């Protein structure tokens, strides 16, 4: 081993778990730092925008708030890195470096710290999409481990035996059945019906009911986060949107319910199918240990509705993770700290 390699081996090791999300991305690090950012990256559109913003690139909430001045990119689609666009590739790298900088890793000090990262991807991510993650992480981390997002959630919650994780994000809904070992492909599912799908349905329904109103997808996302529900709502969902330039209160209660309940049929079908594949001896245990995580999992009434559907199989219990922001990245960090040396993939810069 050369002296240079020996010096590298003496570097401080930082373990991180990263949840690359379509809407938000989070990082949890072994130095105790945890951060979350919106998954948006933007570059100033022209010289005026550059003069106003005084930055060459903006990431997260700052990019979203200044989107009118930016070439704005949301580089993750259905929980995966978009393909075919150099700007989207660059946006993912900027997003990753931003996350790493928040826990103390920068392009300037990379030689002083050895970074081991566990990154979560959708349960049925194709090999090519995993390769895109590897490409994006090149030069940013030394060692990489790619796992399914619901498995990371299960590991972080220590729900490793006779459990089912349903992770509802913006881009995908991911399922994973845990049987005390690494889950097989047959024990995992990915659905495209998730938070973004609800946003698109709600936008369509709201515009159809109030064609004179000016409504954007960003407005709809905010309304959903504040007022989403399934079943019956005790209070109406009243929002404010411009009508002929005048802020106007509009009732979208029925539209909200219809959009949110649209994800239920495929979700219930996948839940039932995975339960039917569990060994008969353990099906009741899994039915009574279903965990819903992810931001979209916070839809009011979702847990009780799933329990109601489980009555058809003899009943079950559904627990909703009330603070899902870091559950994926915390799980990734837990995996990183426990993973044996042979599981890591070394990345060269």
Alpha helical stretches, state H, the chain: 3-9, 47-53, 61-65, 86-102, 127-137, 149-157, 195-209, 217-227, 253-261, 264-277, 283-287, 302-310, 327-338
Report d(CA 349, CA 142) in Å as an integer. 8
175 has which bridge partners?
166, 189
The pLDDT, as a whole number, for residue 313 is 95
Report d(CA 91, CA 105) in Å as an integer. 18
Half-sphere exposure of 295 (CA within 13 A, CB side): 25
> Phi/psi of residue 275, each to 5°?
-65, -35
The pLDDT, as a whole number, for residue 349 is 45
Q: Determine contact, residues 126/82, Cβ cutoff 8 Å.
A: no
User: Beta strand 318-320 with 345-346: parallel, antiparallel or unpaired?
Assistant: unpaired
The pLDDT, as a whole number, for residue 272 is 97
Q: Determine contact, residues 52/69, Cβ cutoff 8 Å.
A: yes
Overall residue count recorded for the chain in this entry: 349
Angle at 303 between CA 215 and CA 297, to 5 degrees: 45
CA distances, 285 to each of 224, 282, 308 (Å) = 33, 5, 17
pTM for this model (two decimals): 0.88
pLDDT in tens, 87-145: 888 898 999 999 999 999 988 887 888 999 999 888 777 667 788 888 888 888 999 99
Report d(CA 177, CA 333) in Å as an integer. 20
Report d(CA 201, CA 320) in Å as an integer. 24
The sign of the CA dihedral 227, 230, 234, 240 is positive
Ranges of the chain with pLDDT below 70: 1-9, 84, 126-127, 348-349
At 198 the three-state DSSP class reads helix
Residue-by-residue DSSP string for 77-101 = ETTEE-SS-HHHHHHHHHHHHHHHH
Report d(CA 300, CA 78) in Å as an integer. 23
Q: Determine contact, residues 174/123, Cβ cutoff 8 Å.
A: yes
């Amino acid at each position: 081993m050369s002296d240079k390699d020996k010096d590298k081996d003496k570097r401080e090791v930082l373990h991180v778990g990263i949840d690359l999300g379509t809407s938000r991305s989070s990082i949890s690090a072994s130095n105790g730092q945890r951060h979350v950012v919106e998954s948006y990256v933007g570059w100033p559109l022209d010289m005026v925008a550059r003069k106003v913003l005084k930055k060459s690139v903006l990431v997260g909430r700052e990019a979203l708030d200044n989107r009118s001045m930016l070439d704005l990119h949301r580089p993750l689609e259905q929980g995966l890195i978009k393909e075919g666009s150099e700007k989207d590739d660059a946006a993912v790298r900027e997003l990753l470096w931003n996350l790493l900088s928040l826990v103390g890793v920068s392009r300037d000090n990379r030689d002083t710290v050895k970074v081991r990262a566990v990154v979560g991807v959708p349960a049925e991510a194709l090999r090519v999409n995993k390769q895109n993650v590897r490409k994006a992480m090149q030069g940013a981390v030394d060692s990489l481990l790619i796992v399914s997002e619901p498995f990371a959630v299960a590991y972080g919650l220590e729900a490793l035996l006779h459990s089912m994780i349903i992770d509802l994000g913006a881009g995908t809904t991911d399922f994973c059945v845990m049987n005390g070992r690494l889950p097989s492909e047959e024990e995992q599912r990915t659905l495209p019906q998730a938070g973004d799908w609800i946003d698109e349905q709600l936008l369509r329904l709201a515009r159809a009911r109030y064609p004179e109103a000016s409504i954007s997808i960003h407005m709809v996302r905010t309304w959903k986060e504040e007022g989403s529900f399934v079943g019956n709502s005790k209070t109406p969902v009243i929002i404010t949107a411009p009508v002929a330039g005048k802020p106007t209160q509009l009732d979208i209660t029925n539209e909200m319910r219809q959009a949110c309940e649209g994800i239920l049929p495929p979700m219930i079908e996948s839940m039932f199918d995975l339960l039917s594949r569990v060994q008969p001896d353990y099906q009741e245990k899994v039915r009574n240990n279903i965990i819903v995580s992810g931001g979209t999992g916070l839809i009011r009434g979702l847990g009780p509705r799933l329990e109601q559907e489980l009555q058809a199989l003899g009943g079950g219990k559904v627990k909703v993770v009330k603070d899902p922001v870091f559950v994926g990245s915390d799980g990734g960090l837990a995996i990183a700290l426990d993973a044996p040396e042979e599981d890591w993939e070394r990345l060269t810069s």
